[in-house]
Every structure is written in structure tokens, then in C-alpha cells.
Amino acid sequence: MLTAEEKQLIPQVWDTVCNKHDGLGAEALERMFFVYPPTKTYFPHFDLHQGSDQVHGHGKKVMAALSNAVKNLDNLSQALSELSNLHAYNLRVDPVNFKLLSQCIQVVLAVNMGKDYTPEVHAAFDKFLSAMSAVLAEKYR
């Protein structure tokens, strides 16, 4: 459960980071595909090479979903319901992949934020991304 301070910190950081870096989603996906190669199985029709237009486009979708979640911190289940349904019933993505992508997003944030990626920011985003992963996986039960 996010604290009041974390609920203020996450949108502030998100606005700062997302407005500066258009390619964060693609960078996180590229990292996930490289570090966790089995995740590529869900994208057989994609060109998964670094800098691919398809990865960049999907990265934008990932960031849009994250932005939506950031705007709806108090109601993640409702905000992500459609996305959860899509992944559970249509795409049948193994829910462990949400955690893997969350880890990659954390690394990308740390790399891009540098010294501004404080322990407080890390903890807040860890809790947020864990909550988001849990919501995306809840339809699997």
C-alpha cells in the first residue's frame, strides 16, 4: 500500500522522467528481451532488434499504461481492468513477465535519473510497480 508521500512522489517523478525521455518504454522492453529471452515468445511478429520501430511503438503503449496507472493510484484495478483482461484472456501472457518488466523499468529509471533516483524513489516505484503487476495478474486467478 502506497503512503501519502509516495502517492505524491510517484506522479512528480513520472512527469519529470516521461516528459524528458520518449524511449523509456522501448528501453525497458529491449532490456527485458535481452535479459529474459523467453519473454520474446509473446512477440513472434515483432522485429525485436534494438531500435526497432515495433519495439518503440509497443514501448509507447507500455508507458501510456503506466501513465494511466500513475494518474489512478487510488484505483489501479479499475484503471487497468481492460489491460488485465487483454493480457489474461486474449494474449495469455505469463504473469511473471509483469514482474520482469517492472524490474527492467526500475533499471531504466535508475539509469536515466542518475542521482535523482534516490532510495525513496526506488522504494516508491517498487511498491507501485508491484501493485501494478498484481493488478495485471489478478484476472489469472
Tell me the pLDDT tens digit for each residue of 6-45. 999 999 999 988 766 778 999 999 999 999 999 998 888 9
Q: What is the CATH number of the domain that holds 91?
A: 1.10.490.10
Q: Three-state DSSP class for 89?
A: helix
pLDDT, residue 32, reads 94
What is the value of pTM for the model shown?
0.90
Q: Which domain holds residue 75?
A: 4-140
pLDDT digits (tens, 9 = 90+) for 43-85: 889 999 888 999 999 999 889 899 999 999 998 888 877 877 6
Residues 6+ apart with CB under 8 A from 2: 10, 73, 124, 127, 128, 131
- Per-residue pLDDT at 114: 94
Domain count, the chain: 1
Alpha-carbon distances, residue 66 vs 12, 26, 36 (angstroms): 14, 13, 21
